[in-house]
Amino acid sequence: MTRPPKNRPPAKSIDFAELQRYFDNNGLEGRMESLRPAEVDYGPAPKNLGYPKGTVSFAYLYTDEDGNDFALVAVFRSPEGEFCGGRKYHPIALLIDGVWRHATR
């Protein structure tokens, strides 16, 4: 089970495409590359995502230099070790302007 973020600001659902746009347009991938995440969950990737058989899903929680959680992302790896879904990180929830935003589909 995924542990909830340590800092508990308000939460709000937003459109999945909007969450991805925010992630892509605000340099989060580069910021995350320099940090060590906490692995909070892993297991077989959900079948409904259509990834190759044997793909594993990992959920990582990223914390900034001040100790505040700011991103919960999924990473999908095929049995060959390749990233699935056309990108490395798939945002699940992001701290945006002091509010946890999580995706609705």
DSSP string, the chain: -PPPPSS---EEEEEHHHHHHHHHHTTHHHHHHTSPPEEEEEEEPPGGG-PPTT-EEEEEEEE-TTS-EEEEEEEEE-TTS-B-TTSS-EEEEEEETTEEEEEE-
What are the sequence ranges of the domains in the chain?
11-45+53-104
For residue 65, what pLDDT band results from cuts at 50, 70 and 90?
confident
The architecture that CATH gives domain 11-45+53-104 is Roll (3.10)
For residue 90, what pLDDT band results from cuts at 50, 70 and 90?
very high
Q: Dump pLDDT digits (tens) for 36-50.
A: 999 999 999 999 989
Is 105 a residue whose pLDDT tops 70? no
